[in-house]
Structure 1
Amino acid sequence: MGTSILVVDDDPDILDAVEFTLESEGYIVQTAVDPAKLMPLLGEQHPALLVLDFLMSGVDGASITRQLKAHQATRSMPILMISAHPEAAQVAQECGADGFLAKPFDIDELLETVQQLTIAD
């Protein structure tokens, strides 16, 4: 069985591209365009990795990351933050994200980062 990854981004094109790329490498991918659906999804499953956009409508990835890292059940789940925002890399590090990729990112860079973050799975 493949490694499960949850991707949350409010841009459907990014979701489709990341989902296609990861599934072609054998990962099991679930996506959510609405960040409000993240917590219910995490209650149902425990993905090996969360790929999370930094800026989404109404919610920011840093707040979500801090919340997840503060709870015992989700603390150890790796979080890869993605963003085109110029300050997002620093914010990702400060809020406890395990990795960061600047948009637009290279497919090989995405796959390499995902592999590094899920290697313990």
Structure 2
Amino acid sequence: MLKRLLILDDNQDILNVMEDALVGEGYEVVTMTYCDDIIKSVQQHQPDLVMLDFLLSGINGGEMCAQIKKNPLTSHLPVIILSAYPRVLESLGDYGSDAFVQKPFDLEQLYSTVNSCLADDEHLQLH
């Protein structure tokens, strides 16, 4: 069964690149440029992993990550935060994210991070 990824980024070009790359790696990908309720979106799309841009219009992706990690229904999901500003993330903490990918990203780094988070998640579910 294909692993489903939910990616939220307000830049459609970045979403297109990520979707094409990750579908090519055998993932099912759902993309969103806007989200007003991340928990509702996660429940609707049932992803195996969530990727959030850190700087989104209207809300901080880190805050969305914290919402996912604090909710008992979604806290098990691996979350990757994406940002072109790694120092912002360092100064504000990681919001409970499982990984960080710096933009612009190298596709091999992206694949490796996604695969690692999904493998860690499977390992935890087996124990």
TM-score with structure 1 setting the length: 0.91
Structure 2 counterparts to residues 1-121 of structure 1, below 5 A = 1-36=1-36, 38-90=38-90, 93-119=93-119, 120-121=121-122
Q: Which whole-Å CA distance do the structure 2 matches of 1:92 and 1:4 have between them?
A: 28
Query: CA 1:22–1:35 in structure 2 vs 1: closer, same or farther (change >3 Å)?
Result: same
Q: C-alpha root-mean-square deviation of aligned residues, in Å?
A: 1.6
Q: Which whole-Å CA distance do the structure 2 matches of 1:4 and 1:84 have between them?
A: 24
Identity of aligned residues (%): 33
Q: Which whole-Å CA distance do the structure 1 matches of 2:34 and 2:55 have between them?
A: 12
Q: Which whole-Å CA distance do the structure 2 matches of 1:88 and 1:77 have between them?
A: 23
Report the secondary structure of 1:47's partner residue.
coil
- Unmatched tracts of structure 1, length 5 or more: none
Q: CA offset at residue 93 of structure 1? A: 4.8
In the alignment of these two chains, the number of paired residues is 121
The structure with the greater share of residues assigned to strand is: 1
Q: Which whole-Å CA distance do the structure 1 matches of 2:77 and 2:32 have between them?
A: 17
**AA partner of residue 26 (structure 2):** G
